[in-house]
């Protein structure tokens, strides 16, 4: 497992907790709308493929889990001085998604604190085990762009909206410039079944959509 350097800042834990709480509250509000839009769009999508072949309907079938990058967004400038945060959400679309995101599969609320045996680059998130997150500017010394960063996400929370499971994951990068400063980087995130790899090989089989977006780490 890869774990070098401190990717957390020295901000008091209470301050970080308050900021995370506010972000999760905003995320819940936004994601309720996203989930509702997804549900509303489903009948339209089905109707539009009504005359399509079985092959085509399978080809365009949406995965049971939708991954949403709440922050940063494409083209955003995230944070300042090389310090930024990443907020992700996993949204079940149906009963299959609910099962994948269940506590039985390891998805549960928790804090992955620096210094814990579960914390580190190249490790799975102990509370969202199938999460894969990479950044194109991850230093080679800690695994490079193929290293899974899910193991340094500090906070996981869960919720349900309209009977569908939601999992929120938060990472606050506190070491200034660890992933660049005033630099463009590409975030890639998706979910796999079971436990995610420490190093991405390209043979992974996502069970969610794949988010890939470029943003600028603020200087």
Looking at residue 62, its pLDDT comes to 87
Residues 6+ apart with CB under 8 A from 84: 72, 78, 173, 217, 218
Looking at residue 175, its pLDDT comes to 86
Read off the tokens for 188: 């890639």
pLDDT < 70 positions in the chain: 1-60
What are the sequence ranges of the domains in the chain? 13-217
**Spatial distance between the Cα atoms of 163 and 160, rounded to a whole number of angstroms:** 6
Q: Which of 38, 43, 87, 46 lies closest to 65 in space, CA to CA? A: 38
Report the CATH number of the 13-217 domain. Answer: 2.60.40.10
**pTM of the entire predicted model:** 0.77
**Spatial distance between the Cα atoms of 37 and 39, rounded to a whole number of angstroms:** 5
Q: Does the CA dihedral 35-191-105-65 come out positive or negative?
A: positive
- DSSP code for 15: H
Looking at residue 134, its pLDDT comes to 98
Read off the tokens for 173: 């990068």
């Amino acid at each position: 497992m890869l774990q070098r350097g401190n990717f957390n800042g020295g901000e008091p834990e209470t301050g970080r907790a308050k900021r995370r709480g506010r972000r999760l509250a905003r995320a819940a509000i936004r994601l309720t709308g996203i989930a509702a839009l997804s549900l509303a769009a489903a009948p339209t999508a089905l109707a539009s493929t009504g005359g399509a072949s079985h092959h085509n309907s399978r080809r365009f079938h949406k995965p049971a889990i939708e991954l949403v990058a709440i922050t940063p967004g494409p083209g955003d400038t995230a944070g300042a001085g090389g310090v930024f945060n990443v907020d992700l959400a996993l949204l079940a679309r149906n009963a299959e998604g609910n099962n994948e995101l269940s506590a039985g599969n390891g998805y549960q609320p928790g804090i992955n604190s620096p210094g814990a045996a579960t914390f580190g680059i190249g490790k799975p998130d102990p509370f969202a085990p199938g999460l894969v997150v990479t950044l194109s500017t991850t230093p080679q010394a800690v695994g490079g762009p193929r290293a899974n960063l899910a193991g340094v996400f500090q906070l996981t929370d869960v919720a349900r909206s309209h009977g569908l499971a939601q999992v929120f994951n938060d990472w606050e990068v506190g070491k200034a410039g660890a992933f660049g400063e005033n630099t463009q980087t590409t975030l890639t995130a998706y979910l796999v079944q079971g436990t995610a790899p420490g190093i991405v090989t390209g043979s992974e089989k996502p069970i969610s959509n794949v988010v890939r977006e470029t943003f600028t780490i603020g200087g």
